[in-house]
Amino acid sequence: MRRRALGLLTGAVIWPFMVGCHASNGTSGGDPARTANEHHARAFGDAELPRKIGSVASIGLQIPVICPDGRRMLYLRTDCDHLSAMTLLGSPDPQHTPPEGTLSIWLRPVAGQASGRRLSGRRWSHSPVWSDSGNAVAYVANQPPASVIVHLDLGTGTETMLGVRGAINCLPRFDGDDQTLLFCAGDAADGPFRVYRQKTGGDEPAALTPKGTDCLFPIASDRGGGSLCAQVEGTHLNWVRSGPGGVARLAPQWGMSTRPASLQTWAGIGSPLSPGRDAVLFYDVAQNRICVLHVAKRIVRRHRPRSIAACWLDNQTIALATADGVFIVNTTTGLSTTLFSGQWIPCRYVATSRRLILLGRQTPRRFAIWEVMFKTRMAPA
């Protein structure tokens, strides 16, 4: 049954291209697909109505980032009237990192309306990410003419500065533990960038991509000293497995390579890597839809047209949003069922409590925070 969602809108930078929805892909035949679809129906076929649990400020540059346990969030606050998307790439240009004003990261509970506390001590900070344990965060601090990656241990309050010295450092992502980060670095915000890996504790950054190869959106590293990331090629991007000696294409010709357009890749996706670490969620601006890269098979499956935000529910299932509603999608078979209507951003699913956290528009400068609880269906006897 289709559920009304109170006509919510959103005001983050990902929404200007959100203009509708069409039918999803069909399911494929065979026993594996049937089994996957039966699991889909049992696990996510029954949910309670959305319940509003709070609200949070929105400045239109990035959506709030929810902790893996679903209890805390990181969000941005500023005293500036205008923010440039290029600030997310560490650009030192005064129009992207102005010499006055502040951009800061705040930590607060997901529930409620309290502003919480300022987490970042530097004047111009952004791009916060959580470690899988929730015990550490990392973010970018623009310090013209360069930018740095800041690692913060939430237990001790210890900050560690990471990144290539004197370079533009941006797009951080934790790599499997609380102490290891992947990030991009280069001489200028418009590239080329290389992907680096660095641990806290004094290690120097290790390059994981060849010099001169412009690579973005690092996802995970491998034991051979390479990484899974996106490579700029002409006007498009390629998903590649890259090492210091070269790159191997996994999925070519998606998205758009210009810096502002490429930033849409993860604008509506807080945690792109699947729980099993074998698939990647992303938005393809050229196709105007959410896609999933299945790494081992080197396959990209494109889901509902004009879909713009998503989060993982389990290793093969996502909550996907269009302008018209939220859908539960099996990323392998294509089975898609309607959860409820309206405009939302699904942000984080907490498996232990079967709780999906979403954002919706409350005012032009504020998100409402909602939760949906999934009921457990018994497996057939």
Integer Rg of the chain from CA: 20
What pLDDT score does 30 carry?
54
Answer yes or no: do 78 and 43 share one domain: no
Distances from the Cα of 357 to the Cα of 218, 326, 339, 360, angstroms:
25, 12, 13, 10
**Pair (169, 311) in one structural domain:** no
Alpha helix positions (H), the chain: 31-44, 259-262
Specify if 296 maps to a domain. no
User: Residues 88, 138: one domain?
Assistant: yes
Percent over 70 (pLDDT), the chain: 90
Q: Is the pLDDT of residue 36 over 80?
A: no
Which whole-number Å values give the CA distances from 375 to 20, 45, 47, 370, in the listed order? 29, 8, 6, 17
My answer on whether 217 and 312 are in the same domain is no
- Domain stops at, among 266, 297, 324: 266
Evaluate whether residue 274 is within a structural domain.
Answer: no
Shared domain for 249 and 356, answered yes or no, is no
pLDDT at 31: 67
Positive or negative, the Cα torsion across 156, 162, 165, 171? Answer: negative
Distance between CA atoms of 99 and 80, rounded to whole angstroms? 11
* In a shared domain, residues 46 and 102: no
CATH number at residue 259: 2.120.10.30
18: three-class secondary structure by DSSP: coil
Q: Within a domain: residue 133?
A: yes
Question: Does 314 score more than 80 pLDDT?
Answer: yes
Q: Which two tokens stand for residue 73?
A: 């969030």
- Would you say residue 272 has pLDDT above 90? yes
The answer to whether 238 and 255 have CB atoms below 8 angstroms apart is no
- Can you say how many angstroms the Cα of residue 68 is from the centroid of all Cα atoms in its chain? 13
- Element holding 327 (H helix, E strand): strand 325-330
Among 172, 285, 185, which residue's Cα sits nearest to residue 235?
Answer: 285
Would residue 283 count as lying in a domain?
no
- Between 377 and 178, residue with greater pLDDT: 178
The span from the CA of 142 to the CA of 99, in Å, is 11
Residues 250 and 134 in one domain: yes
- Copy the structure tokens of residue 139: 């973010």
Q: Which residue has the tokens 């890269």?
A: 293
Residue 102 covered by a domain:
yes
Q: How far is CA 305 from the centre of its chain?
A: 19
Q: Are residues 31 and 163 in the same domain?
A: no
Q: What is the pLDDT of residue 41?
A: 76
Q: Is residue 380 part of a domain?
A: no
Of the listed ranges 46-60, 318-332, 365-379, the least confidently predicted one is 365-379
E-strand spans in 194-335?
Answer: 194-199, 206-207, 215-221, 227-233, 236-243, 246-254, 279-284, 289-294, 299-305, 309-314, 317-321, 325-330
Q: Is residue 271 part of a domain?
A: no
Q: Provide the residue count of the chain.
A: 381
Which domain covers residue 87, as residue numbers?
64-266
As a whole number of angstroms, the distance between CA 13 and CA 87 comes to 13
What is the pLDDT confidence band of residue 2, given thresholds at 50, 70 and 90? very low
Exposure of 286 by Cβ count < 10 A (0-12 exposed, 13-18 middle, 19+ buried)?
A: middle
Same domain, 131 and 13: no
* Residues 46 and 83 both lie in one domain: no
Tell me the two tokens of residue 106.
């705040």
Tokens 């034991």 correspond to what residue?
A: 223
Domain boundary among 266, 297, 315: 266
Band (pLDDT 50/70/90 cuts) for residue 277 is: very high
Total domains in the chain come to 2
Q: Quick one: pLDDT at residue 279?
A: 97
Q: Please check whether residues 174 and 245 belong to one and the same domain.
A: yes
- Window from 14-18, 137-141, 193-197, 321-325 with minimum mean pLDDT: 14-18
Query: Which has the higher per-residue pLDDT, 378 or 138?
Result: 138
Same-domain status, 49 and 189: no
Please list, in sequence order, all residues whose beta carbon lies within 8 angstroms of the beta carbon of residue 111, skipping any fewer than 6 positions away: 53, 54, 369
Segment 300-312, tens digit of pLDDT: 999 999 999 999 9
- Domain assignment of residue 285, yes or no: no
For residue 131, which phi and psi values (nearest 5 degrees)? -75, 165
Tell the burial category of 84 from Cβ atoms under 10 Å away from its Cβ (0-12, 13-18, 19+). Answer: middle
Beta-bridge mates of residue 280: 273, 293
End-to-end CA distance of the chain: 25
H/E run at residue 58:
none
pLDDT in tens, 107-156: 999 999 999 999 999 999 999 999 999 999 999 999 999 999 999 999 99
Q: At residue 168, what is the residue type?
A: I
